[in-house]
Amino acid sequence: MIITWIGHSTFLLQIGSANILLDPIWSERASPVQFAGPKRIVAPGVAFDSLPPIDLVLLSHDHYDHLDITTVRHLAARLPRAEWIAPLEVGAWLRARGVIVAAELDWWQSVRVHGLDITCTPAQHFSGRRPNNRNSTLWCGWAIRAGERAVFFAGDTGQHPEFGAITRRLGPFDAALLPIGAYDPRWFMGPVHMAPEEAVSAYIDIAAENAGRACRFIAMHWGTFRLTDEPLDEPPVLTRAAWSRAGLDPALLWVPARGETLRISTG
């Protein structure tokens, strides 16, 4: 299994025999228009034209920093055979942009595709691309399993009580991809985005139910777009500090550099 951080919540996950993109965005701005809105601070860690053939794309929800129309159109044109899986009510939007929707799932629903078991998992967030469609589509995370190997992608989420239940039902996991950024001010962002300390607490809930298997914490949702008030480089600092205070194994925390790859042995 190979996991590459492209930036923000975008990953290339190579598991089983499939190449998967998670929440792909290659645009310069996380915005409905490319002349305004949050601007990309760093280039994607993998150039779009350097992507391998993509079998599957998983989307967590319809916000602009996770569902990007320009990237969707480019993927549909360059990789027309790629299949997409999305939470409820996002499929029609995708089909209208020319993509193949393999499944549109509710929380705890599963589908088998490309030899993988894909399950939609609960998250605490919200959705909407316009003022008049707020929360008309679902948001979620994903559990991705290929035989004995499995990854949990938490999506965009605040802290919630279901991390342990997700692990009991769908684990054990080899890796948990958890958001650590876009958390300030807490009075506003707290319900929908975890702070680093909360992400470490979520990981502890996952690890406690992981059947004794080592699970790597993989940090995401930081350092790519300036979405909130905290300094761009603060989330990793606070995450490492919370990890150390909790007495967790330093080898299991991975805060990737842009474009960095983690290989998890199948042995």
The CATH code of the domain that includes 83 is 3.60.15.10
Alpha carbons within 13 A on the beta-carbon side of 255: 18
Query: At residue 35, does pLDDT exceed 80?
Result: no
Q: What amino acid is encoded at 214 in this protein?
A: A
Query: What's the pLDDT at 263?
Result: 96
212's tokens = 């004794």
How far apart (Å, rounded) are the C-alpha atoms in residues 247 and 226? 31
List the single range of 32-41, 45-54, 95-104, 128-137 with lowest mean pLDDT: 128-137
67's tokens = 């569902």
Kindly report the pTM of this predicted structure. Answer: 0.96
How far apart (Å, rounded) are the C-alpha atoms in residues 64 and 41? 16
Please count the structural domains in the chain: 1
- pLDDT tier at 124, thresholds 50, 70, 90: very high
202's tokens = 């979520």
Query: What's the pLDDT at 136?
Result: 82
Residue 132 is given by DSSP the state G
Domain interval for residue 250: 2-263
Q: What would the mean pLDDT of 76-93 be, rounded to a whole number?
A: 95
Residue 52 is given by DSSP the state P
CB 200 within 8 A of CB 183: no
Residue 228 is given by DSSP the state S
Q: What amino acid is encoded at 42 in this protein?
A: V
Q: What is the pLDDT of residues 199-222, one digit of tens each?
A: 999 999 999 999 999 999 999 999
- pLDDT tier at 266, thresholds 50, 70, 90: low
